[in-house]
Amino acid sequence: MNNYKFTISYDGSRYYGWEHQPGKDLTIQGKIETVLARMTGSDSVDVISAGRTDAGVHALALTANARLNTDLSPQQIRDYMNRYLPEDICIRDVRIASDKFHARYNCIGKTYRYTCYIGQLKPVFDRKYVYVLDKMPDVEKMREAAGYLTGKHDFASFCGNVHMKKSTVRTLDTIDIRVSGDYLTFTYHGDGFLRSMVRILTGTLLEVGWGKRTPESMPSLFHEKRRALAGFTVPAKGLCLIQDDYNRG
């Protein structure tokens, strides 16, 4: 029985998110566990991911692990999974990890990217991966606001789960805001993210960019811990998990 580490891409458009939920069978975790159970002839397989993406959110390289009883090589496991998984889920890599490796507990950082479309025309071919903005926000103002949001803070106002009982303190290292052609992207790196945090941060920054809030008003969002004070939650389809970080080994 080896512990395997997986790197997974998916188009989250038609899924209820990563995590399997009672009564909702269209989840990425559910699809992967079903294929692995079939491959190993087990009743069930538990796949642990670095985190749970919400309904409609995509992933370029999500990390997961699972203990499997199989004689197949990592390459054979990858090929088997890609053959039986639907075309919107791709296993990029499978390798044997140390027995202690845990995709969630060992994850030390994550990168998320949120993509807005700022072109004149409707984005026909990548419409499922972008949020279309009607009005161009002021990028310099958003960068100024981002300066207030990075660092170690209590992000309770940016948490989509109002029943969150655990700590809502996180360290947000960087928010990189770029315009490239018809796209405006927000790339976030931090040690962990609360539910919907990236989408609420992006909505708040856009409201700054549109002049509805000032950069200087950002610190007050940390002091008062109320979701209603922060900005709107941008749509899931523009969000993509880019990478999960681990220490070597």
For a copy of itself, give the closer residue by CB, 126 or 224.
126
Contact call for residues 134 and 168 (beta carbons, < 8 A)? no
Nearer residue to a copy of itself within complex by CB, 127 or 212? 127
What number of other Cβ atoms are within 10 A of residue 138's Cβ?
A: 14
- Residue 77 found at the interface with a copy of itself (CB under 8 A): no
Q: Contact region for a copy of itself (CB under 8 A) — 8-16, 107-115, 153-161, 202-210?
A: 8-16
The total of other beta-carbon atoms located within 10 Å of residue 27's CB is 20
Catalytic residue among 43, 54, 71, 173: 54
**What DSSP state is assigned to residue 124?**
S
Among 37, 48, 90, 164, the residue binding a copy of itself under the rule CB under 8 A is: 90
Which of 4, 5, 6, 10 contacts a copy of itself by CB under 8 A?
A: 10
Helix axes 74-84, 28-40, angle to 10 degrees: 120
43 is catalytic: no
Rounded Cα gap, residues 111 and 113, in angstroms = 7
Q: What angle do CA 63, 68, 73 make, to 5 degrees?
A: 85
- With H, G, I as helix, E, B as strand and everything else as coil, classify residue 142: helix
Structure-token pair, residue 5: 């580490």
Kindly identify the residues of this chain, within the stretch 92-111, that bind a copy of itself according to CB under 8 A. Answer: 92
Identify the CA nearest to 110 among candidates 185, 171, 20.
171
Q: How many residues bind to a copy of itself according to rule CB under 8 A?
A: 18
Closer CB to a copy of itself, 105 or 125, in the complex = 125
CA distances from 199 to 21, 28, 159, 193, 204 (A): 22, 20, 10, 10, 9
Piece of 124-132, 142-150, 191-199, 200-208 that binds a copy of itself (CB under 8 A): 124-132
Instruction: Kindly tell me which of 3 and 9 has the beta carbon lying closer to a copy of itself.
Output: 9
Neighbours of 50 (CB within 10 A): 27
In the complex, the smallest distance separating the C-beta of residue 245 from a copy of itself, rounded to whole angstroms, is 21
Cβ pair 124, 102 in contact under 8 A: no
Indicate which single residue of 22, 71, 105, 124 sits in contact with a copy of itself (rule: CB under 8 A): 124
Is there binding between residue 58 and a copy of itself (CB under 8 A)? yes
Q: Which residue has the tokens 């523009």?
A: 238
Exactly one of 43, 87, 99, 134 binds a copy of itself (CB under 8 A); which one? 87
AA letter at 234: V
Q: What is the Cα–Cα distance from 180 to 148, expressed in whole angstroms?
A: 24
What residues numbered 12-51 form the site for a copy of itself, per CB under 8 A? none
Per-residue contact flags (x/-) with a copy of itself for residues 131 to 160, judged by CB under 8 A: ------------------------------
Just list the catalytic residues: 54
**In the complex, which residues of this chain contact a copy of itself (CB under 8 A)?**
9-11, 58, 82, 87-90, 92, 121-127, 129
